[in-house]
């Protein structure tokens, strides 16, 4: 008995539509996000499907400051979390963190800076914060640079609740 070709075609079409939809969501997040530093510097965002991360902040060299995003990885997250990842990488740029100089303190500092800015600007509300916590809590840490997902989610929540006074 032959396999059902129609089932294969339907499965393939659904897979392609899902992949296209995820990529479109990520592209929209990247397109609708601008990283402008306090000194007015605009940090460009580039897409790289081969990046082994959601996003990274890069700086220096001939290419200058930039944020590189894997649209496929970014698309796996809820909209508020996608915005958080972009703000997190922008925070690295604002805080002067560069690729290759990782530390837990820098990651935690970028997390806090990002969520505080998003809350302060009204870009993340209570429901968005819950989505960010839910997504982040599922991510594993590496024990060296990144906290475990649940610890990182708790830190982000704490930072959101403790906005610095001006």
Domain definitions of the chain by residue range:
5-161
Q: What is the mean pLDDT of residues 141-145?
A: 73
pLDDT of residue 99: 57
> Is the distance from CB of 61 to CB of 83 less than 8 angstroms?
no
pLDDT of residue 21: 52
37 vs 33 pLDDT, higher one: 37
164 vs 44 pLDDT, higher one: 44
Q: What is the mean pLDDT of residues 29-50?
A: 85
Q: Confidence band (pLDDT; 50, 70, 90) for 163? A: confident
- According to DSSP, the residues that pair with 45 across neighbouring strands are 67
pTM for the model stands at: 0.78
Structure tokens at 46: 């580039």
Q: What is the mean pLDDT of residues 31-56?
A: 90
d(CA 126, CA 146): 24
* Residue 151 confidence (pLDDT) above 60: yes
Terminal alpha carbon distance of the chain: 73
Mean pLDDT of the chain: 81
With both helix axes pointing from N to C terminus, report the angle between 79-94 and 126-137 in degrees, rounded to the nearest 10.
Answer: 80
pLDDT of residue 50: 96
* Residue 6 confidence (pLDDT) above 50: no
Q: What is the mean pLDDT of residues 2-23?
A: 45
pLDDT of residue 29: 47
Q: What is the mean pLDDT of residues 116-125?
A: 95
Pairing of strands 42-43, 35-36: antiparallel
């Amino acid at each position: 008995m032959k396999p059902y070709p129609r089932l294969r075609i339907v499965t393939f079409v659904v897979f392609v539509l899902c992949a296209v939809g995820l990529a479109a969501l990520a592209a929209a997040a990247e397109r609708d996000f601008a990283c402008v530093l306090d000194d007015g510097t605009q940090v460009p965002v580039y897409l790289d499907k081969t990046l082994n991360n959601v996003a990274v902040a890069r700086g220096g060299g001939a290419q200058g400051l930039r944020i590189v995003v894997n649209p496929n990885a970014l698309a796996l997250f809820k909209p508020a979390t996608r915005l958080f990842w972009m703000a997190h990488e922008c925070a690295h740029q604002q805080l002067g963190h560069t690729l290759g100089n990782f530390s837990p303190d820098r990651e935690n500092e970028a997390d806090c800076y990002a969520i505080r800015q998003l809350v302060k600007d009204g870009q993340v509300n209570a429901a968005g914060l819950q989505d960010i916590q839910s997504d982040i809590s599922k991510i594993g840490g590496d024990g060296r640079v990144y906290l475990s997902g649940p610890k990182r989610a708790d830190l982000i929540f704490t930072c959101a609740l403790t906005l610095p006074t001006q």
